[in-house]
Amino acid sequence: MPELPEVETISHILNQGGEGIPPLPGQVVDQAVVLWERTIAMPDVARFKESIRGQKIEHLSRRGKFLIIQLTQETLLFHLRMSGDLLVERQEQAFAPHHRLVLEFTSGWRLAFNDTRKFGRVWLTADPQEVLAGLGPEPLDRGLSSAEFFRRLHSHSRQLKPLLMDQTFLAGLGNIYTDEALHLARLHPLSLSDKINEEQSSRLLASIRQVLEAGIQRNGTSIDWVYRGGDYQNYLRVYGRTGEACPVCGTPIERIVLGQRSTHFCPVCQVIRA
């Protein structure tokens, strides 16, 4: 489910609290309840439970699609994958069906990791770089220049869409925002990265930033039962709109499968060619 804007939104909400829910910073872990062992990527479950007890939450942040929770001694990292979500609840409440990990706090509140498809993972480590080291640059980091982005595009000869979704190339884009950015930039998802000229490259970077910022502005994209809160789904240009009119030229949006992912684009606006 969550791509960069959704994780950013969750991080913000959990940091600030709101709607009768307390901010997470300051909460002290009393106990971890593990309902699906494979959710814990590191360390093993016994050590995870042992180690997290008594640690206080200092601060939440995001890197790519990872949610990072800084604890007093260690760092807790979540990757929500396709269906993960984080909820702050009262401890009296019964566990919902798909809770995989629950952190109970001394305050009577708890943080629940709910993940229908069980793809999500959690790491507890003294050195978060162990988990994050391979990630590419943050797309919204102004330190990533047009020139650098162009260089990175030309250091591969790969189809644009799978390249943009490769987290070692750029950290945070997923299936929705990649389709949106490519349409906004008028670039075909199958275009080869080393055939992109400088103007197209800077347009692409600007488009990526524009759709991600708009997504954050709208608190993310909510589709189906997964991820509630955001309403960017109402502003999507091509994602999930197969057969509907392109918002720019009116041509029906096409769908192809690329790297086993649905890919939506306008066959008129998005042309392969340098």
Partner DNA sequence: CACGAGACCTGTTCGC
Partner DNA sequence: TGCGAACAGGTCTCGT
The nearest distance, CB 123 to DNA, in angstroms, is: 11
- Judged by CB under 7 A, which of 2, 128, 139, 189 binds DNA? 2
The reply to whether 97 sits near DNA by the rule CB under 7 A is yes
Stretch that binds DNA, among 22-30, 55-63, 136-144, 158-166 (CB under 7 A): 158-166
If you count them, how many residues does the chain have? 274
Of 72, 74, 122, the closest CA to residue 102 belongs to: 122
Cβ closest to DNA, residue 73 vs residue 157: 157
Establish how many alpha carbons lie within 13 A of residue 272's alpha carbon, considering only the half-sphere containing its beta carbon: 9
For this structure, is 56 an active site residue? no
Burial of 2 (0-12, 13-18, 19+ CB in 10 A): buried
The reply to whether 110 sits near DNA by the rule CB under 7 A is no
The one catalytic residue in 81, 118, 158, 261 is 261
- Judged by CB under 7 A, which of 28, 34, 206, 223 binds DNA? 223
> What values do phi and psi take at 90, rounded to 5?
-80, 145
d(CA 31, CA 50): 9
The one catalytic residue in 62, 65, 203, 218 is 65
| Beta-bridge partner residues of 63 | 66
Task: Report whether 24 contacts 88 (CB < 8 A).
Answer: yes
Where do contacts with DNA occur on this chain (CB under 7 A)?
A: 1-3, 6, 38, 64-65, 79, 81-82, 97-98, 116-119, 156-159, 162-163, 165, 167, 174-176, 192, 221-227, 258-262
* Catalytic positions, written as ranges: 2-3, 65, 261
